[in-house]
Structure 1
Amino acid sequence: MRSSLRRSPVVLALTTVTTALTLLTACGEGMSEDDPFGQASQALLNGVGSTAARAALTKRWAPIHYQDVDVTGSHSLGGKSDFISRVDFDGDWSGTNNWDNTGSRALTGHAYQSVVETSSHWYLLYTFFHPRDWSDSIFDTEHENDGEGVLLVVKRDGSEYGALVGAVTVAHKDFFSYVPSGSPLTSGSESLDGTLSLATFEGVSHPITAQEAKGHGLKAWPYYDIVGDGVKYYPSLTLAEQPDSATDSDVRYKLLDIYGSEGLWQRRDLTTLFVSDGTFRGDTGGGCGLAAGNCGTNSANAPWGWDDQNDGPILRGEIAKDPAKLAAYYFSPSSQFSTTYTFNPFKGIGADPNQP
Structure 2
Amino acid sequence: MFPIRSLFRGAMARAVVPASLMMLAACGPESLDELTGELEGALANGVGSTAARAALAKRWAPVHYQDVDVTGSHSLSGRSDYIARVDFDGDWVGTNNWDNTSSRALPAHAYHSVVETSSHWYIVYTFFHPRDWADSIFDTEHENDGEGVLLVVARDGSEFGKLEGAVTVAHKDFFSYVPDGSPLGSGAESLDGKLSFANFEGVNHPITAQEAKGHGLKAWPGYDIVGDGVKYFPSLTTAEEPASASDSDVRYKLIDIYGPEGLWARRQLGSLFASDGTFAGDTSGDCGYVKSLCSTNSANAPWGWDDQNDGSIQRGEIATDPAKLSAYYFTPSGSFSTAYTFNPFRGVGGDPNAP
- With normalisation by structure 2, the TM-score equals 0.93
Q: Is the 8 A contact 1:235 1:253 kept in 2?
A: yes
The one-character-per-residue Cα deviations of 1:219-264 (angstroms, maximum 9, x if unpaired) are: 0000100000000000000000000000010000000000000000
Opposite residue 283 of structure 1, the aligned amino acid is D
Aligned to 2:125: 126
Equivalents in 1 of 2:312, 2:191: separation in Å? Answer: 17
1:7 to 14, 38, 41: 14
Tell me the SS of whatever aligns to 1:249.
coil
Equivalents in 2 of 1:86, 1:104: separation in Å? Answer: 15
Aligned to 1:152: 151
Q: Is the 8 A contact 1:3 1:239 kept in 2?
A: no
Equivalents in 1 of 2:275, 2:354: separation in Å? Answer: 27
Equivalents in 1 of 2:243, 2:197: separation in Å? Answer: 25
Opposite residue 265 of structure 1, the aligned amino acid is W
Q: CA deviation at 1:351?
A: 2.3
Q: Is the 8 A contact 1:115 1:124 kept in 2?
A: yes
The one-character-per-residue Cα deviations of 1:282-337 (angstroms, maximum 9, x if unpaired) are: 00001100113110000000000000000000000000000000000000000000
Equivalents in 2 of 1:84, 1:266: separation in Å? Answer: 21
Tell me the SS of whatever aligns to 2:284.
coil
Q: Please, which runs of 5 or more residues in structure 1 have no aligned partner?
A: 22-30
Aligned to 2:301: 302
Tell me the SS of whatever aligns to 1:113.
strand
The one-character-per-residue Cα deviations of 1:55-85 (angstroms, maximum 9, x if unpaired) are: 0000000000000000000000000000000
Tell me the SS of whatever aligns to 1:7.
helix
Matched, 1:194 2:193: yes
Pairs within 5 Å for 1:33-182: 33=32, 35-182=34-181
Aligned-pair RMSD on alpha carbons? 1.7
Equivalents in 2 of 1:36, 1:329: separation in Å? Answer: 38
Q: Please, which runs of 5 or more residues in structure 2 have no aligned partner?
A: 1-5
Range with greater deviation from structure 2 (150-159 or 286-295)? 286-295
Q: Is the 8 A contact 2:149 2:167 kept in 1?
A: yes
Equivalents in 1 of 2:276, 2:107: separation in Å? Answer: 27
Equivalents in 1 of 2:11, 2:348: separation in Å? Answer: 40
Opposite residue 346 of structure 1, the aligned amino acid is F
Range with greater deviation from structure 2 (286-295 or 31-40)? 31-40
Equivalents in 1 of 2:206, 2:273: separation in Å? Answer: 31
Q: Is the 8 A contact 1:165 1:184 kept in 2?
A: yes
Aligned in 2, Cα 1:48/1:118: closer, same or farther, shift over 3 Å? same
The one-character-per-residue Cα deviations of 1:167-201 (angstroms, maximum 9, x if unpaired) are: 00000000000000000000000000000001100
Aligned in 2, Cα 1:34/1:333: closer, same or farther, shift over 3 Å? closer
| Greater helix share, structure number | 2
Equivalents in 1 of 2:169, 2:275: separation in Å? Answer: 20
Q: CA deviation at 1:353?
A: 1.5
Q: CA deviation at 1:3?
A: 4.3
The one-character-per-residue Cα deviations of 1:196-219 (angstroms, maximum 9, x if unpaired) are: 001100000000000000000000
Tell me the SS of whatever aligns to 1:219.
strand
4+ runs deviating over 3 angstroms:
3-8, 31-34
Equivalents in 1 of 2:291, 2:258: separation in Å? Answer: 38
Aligned to 2:3: none
Aligned to 2:245: 246
Matched, 1:284 2:265: no
Equivalents in 2 of 1:339, 1:87: separation in Å? Answer: 31
Matched, 1:234 2:233: yes
Equivalents in 2 of 1:61, 1:225: separation in Å? Answer: 20
Aligned to 1:255: 254
Q: Is the 8 A contact 1:68 1:212 kept in 2?
A: yes
Q: How many residues align structurally?
A: 341
Percent same amino acid among aligned pairs? 76
